[in-house]
Structure 1
Amino acid sequence: MTDAASIASRQSRTSDRQRKLAALARSFGNRAVSVAATLLGLAALTFFIGHLLPLDPVIAVLGPNATHDAYVAMHKQLGLDQPLWKQFTVYLGHILQFDFGNALTTGRPVVTDIVRVFPATLELASVAIVIGTGIGIPAGVLSAMYRGSPLDHIVRFVGLLGYSTPHFWLGLMGLSLFYATLGWIGGPGRIDTMYELDLEPRTGFYLIDAALTGDWALFKDVFGHIVLPASILGFTALTYISRMTRSFMIEQLGQEYVVTARVKGLSWARTVWVHAFRNVAVQVVTVVALSYAFLLEGAVLTETVFAWPGFGRYLTNALLAGDMNAVVGCTILIGVIFIGINIVCDLLYRVFDPRTR
C-alpha cells in the first residue's frame, strides 16, 4: 500500500508539472500571437497611411526638377509600379530583415540613424522618469495620507500646473533663467563643443561615458546639459504619477483593513506605506511604465527646444521633410517600445502581486 501510494503521489506531481508547463506554453503562444498581430497591424497602418499622404517618394528622392525618364526609372526602381498587395508583401519582407531603407534627410540607413539617436532619448527619458518617480510617488502617497491639508492642495496645484503649462514654454523660460541669466547649467545640446573630443562614446549614454573617464569637469558639463530638459520631462511624469498614486491610495485608505490595522495599534505611517501602498504597487508600476514609454516617444518639443540630438527630434525632421522611410522606422520602434513595456509590466505584476502567478 505504501509503494502504491508513493507511486500515485509521484504520478500526481508529474501530472501537475505537465499541466503547469502546458499552461505556460499556451500563455507564451498566446502572447507571441498577440505581439505578432499587433506589429502586423502597425506595419499595415504605417504602410497604407504612407500611401494616402500627398507625398511623392520619387520627387522626394530626385527632387522637383527631375526629368520624365528619370522619374519613370525611379518609380519602377522603388517598386511603385507593382500592385499594392505586392508592394505591401515586399515591405513586410524588408521589415522582417530590419531594413527600412535609407533616410532621405541623412542618406544613411534608417536603422543606423535610429541606433545613433535613440541612446540620447533613452538617457534623457531615464533621468526624467527617475525624477518623476522619485518625487511623484511620495508626493501622491503623502497627499492621500493628509487629504485636505495644505500639502494636499500644493500637490494638486502642482499637478494642475504641470498639465496646463506648455512644456516648450517651460524649456524656454528655464534656458533664459538658469542658462542665459544665472549660468547654472549648460546650454542646448548634450555637451559643450570644448569637451566633445574628451568624451569617448562607449555606451551612448553621456553621463555613464563621462563617469567612466574619471574627468569631473567633463561629467559636470554633461550633467549640466541634461539636468534642465530631464527636469522638465520629469515634471511632466511627476504630475501624472502623483495624481494617479493619490487616487489609488485614497481608495485603499477607505478600506476596512486600514481601520483594522489602526485599531490593532499600527502607526499611521506603517499602515499606509507597508499595507496600503503594497496593494496599489501593481497599479503604480503600470502608471510609471506607461509614463516612461510616453517620455521615450513624446519628447519631441523638449528635444527641439534644447537642440537635443535624440529620437524625437529625428522623427520631427523626418516628418517635416516627408521622409517616409524614417517615419515608418520610428513608428515601428515606438510600437515595439510600448509592447515591450507592457510585457515587462506583466512580469512585474507577478513580482508585486503573488495572486497573478
Structure 2
Amino acid sequence: MALNTSLTTGRGALLLSPRIFRSIFRTAATVAVTFLGLLFITFVIGRVMPIDPALSVVGDKASEEIYQAARKAMGLDQPLYIQFFYYIRDVLQGDLGTSLLTARPVAEDIIRVFPATLELATIATFFGIIFGVPMGVVAAVNKGRWPDQVVRLLGLFGYSMPVFWLGLIGLLVFYGVLGWVGGPGRLDIFFEDVVPNVTGVILIDSLLAGDFEIFGNALSHIILPAAVLGYYSVAYISRMTRSFMLEQLSQEYITTARVKGISEFQVIWRHALGNVMVPLITVIALSYAQLLEGSVLTETVFAWPGLGFYITAGLLSADMNAVLGGTLVVGGVFVGLNLLSDLLYRLVDPRAR
C-alpha cells in the first residue's frame, strides 16, 4: 500500500511538473511580449514627438557641425530599426539616458522620486479599500434604497470632479482656512533631509529613525493629497464591489444559506463577499496601477516630488529622456501589478489553480 501511494504521488508529480512548466513559460512569454510592445510604443513616441533630442542637448544656437556630431553620438543618424535595437539594449542594461533637466541619469532620478509616488498611491489605495469595499457591499444589500443612492451619488462625484480642482479646494479649506493639514510638499522645509534616506518613504524612514515629530509632520502633509487621489479609488472600487455583490446575492447558494438559518451577516460578509474576492483583487490591483499613473495632476497641485511631478517637469522642459523613462516605468508597473493580481487570485481561489 505504501509503495503504491509513493508511486502514485511520484506519478502525479511527474504529470504536474510539465503543466507547471508550461504555465510559467506562458506567463514569462506574455510578460516579455508585453514589455517589448511597451518599449516599441515609447520608442515611437520619442521619434514622432516634435522635439529634436540632439537640438535639446546642444541648443538652437549651436553650429551645424556640433549638431551633426551630437546626432551621431546619440545614434540618431542610424536607421530606425538599429536605433530601436540600441534602445532595447540600453533599457535592459538599466540605461534610460541622461536627464537634460537634472544632468543625472534618468534611472537614478526615477529611483529617487518613485518612492514618493509609491507612498502616495499606496495610502490612496488603502483609502479606496477601507471605504470603497464596505460602501459597495452596503449599496448592493440596500439596492434601490437611500444607502444605495448615496453611495452611487458619491461615486458619481468621484468620477466627475477634476482632481486638480478638488485638490485646490482641499488646500484652500483644510490647509488655508482650517489649518488641519500640512501644505504642499512632503515635509515642512526645516524637516527636510533630517532623517536618513533608507527606503525613500518618509513615513517609514521617520519611524526607523524613531523621530515621531517628523512622522507626524509627514502624515499631515500626505493625508490630503492621498484623500483626494483616493477619492477616485473609492468611487471605482465601491462601484465594482456593488456590481459583483449584486450578481452574487442573486445566486441560489445565497438563498440556500438563508433557508438554512445562517445569519445575514455571515451570508453577506463571508459567503457573498468571499466569492467576489477574486475579481475584486484584480480591480484593486488595476486601481493601484491607475493611481501610480494618474497621480500627475495631484502631485503637480500639491508640489509632491514624485514620478508624476518629475514627468511633468520633463515634459515642460522638453526633456524626452525623463518623460519616456517615467512612462516606461509606469507601464512596467502596470505589467507587474497585473501579474501580481493573477498570482494572488490563484492563491485565493483554488478553482483558478
TM-score (norm 2): 0.97
Identity fraction in percent: 51
When the two chains are superposed, the root-mean-square deviation of aligned CA atoms in Å is: 1.3
Q: Residue 295 of structure 1: SS of its match in structure 2?
A: helix
Per-residue displacement from partner, 1:43-92 (whole Å, max 9, x unpaired)?
Answer: 11211221122111111101111111111111111111112211111111
**Following TM superposition, by how much is the alpha carbon of 1:256 offset from its aligned partner in structure 2, in angstroms?**
1.1
1:93 pairs with one of 89, 92, 99: 89
The amino acid of 1:65's aligned partner reads K
Partner of 2:110: 114
1:272 to partner: Cα distance: 0.5
1:17 and 1:192 map into 2 onto residues whose CA distance is 59
- Counterpart selection for 2:331 from 325, 331, 335: 335
1:349–1:356 Cα contact (<8 Å) kept: yes
The 5 Å alignment of 1:249-268 reads 249-268=245-264
**1:229-284 deviation per Cα after TM superposition (whole angstroms, max 9, x unaligned):** 00011111000000000011011111111111111111211101111111101011
4+ residue stretches of structure 1 with deviation over 3 A?
5-12
Question: Which whole-Å CA distance do the structure 1 matches of 2:252 and 2:78 have between them?
Answer: 67
CA shift at 1:197, angstroms? 4.3
1:1-46 CA distance string (max 9 Å, x none): xxxx765554333221011111111111111111111111111121
**Quick one: which of 42, 51, 71 aligns to 1:46?**
42
1:128/1:237 contact within 8 Å kept: yes
Q: How does 1:4-153 map to 2 (within 5 A)?
A: 9-153=5-149
Task: Find out whether 1:310 has 2:341 as its counterpart.
Answer: no
Q: Deviations over 1:170-219 (max 9, x none)?
A: 10011001111111111100000121243322211111122233333222
3-state DSSP of counterpart to 1:99: coil
Query: What letter corresponds to residue 275 of structure 1 in structure 2?
Result: H
Q: Deviations over 1:133-160 (max 9, x none)?
A: 0010011001111222221111111000
Task: Write the distance in 2 (CA, Å) between the matches of 1:13 and 1:200.
Answer: 53
Confirm whether residue 288 of structure 1 aligns to residue 284 of structure 2. Answer: yes
Q: Figure out how many residues of one structure are paired with residues of the other and give that number.
A: 353
Aligned 8 A contact 1:39 1:332 in 2: no
Distance 2:222 2:189 in 1: 15
Is the CA contact (8 Å cut-off) linking 1:191 and 1:221 kept in structure 2? yes
Q: Note closer, same or farther for the CA distance 1:202–1:6 as it changes in structure 2 (3 Å cut).
A: closer
Once residues 47 and 198 of structure 1 are traced to their aligned partners in structure 2, the CA distance between those partners, rounded to angstroms, is 40
CA distance in 2, matches of 1:9, 1:154: 59
Give the match for residue 240 of structure 1: 236
Shift of 1:328: 2.1
- 1:107 is paired with a residue whose SS is coil
2:342 counterpart of 1:346? yes
Aligned to 2:318: 322
Are residue 276 (structure 1) and residue 269 (structure 2) matched? Answer: no
Distance 2:219 2:41 in 1: 39
Give me the TM-score of the superposition, normalised by structure 1.
0.96
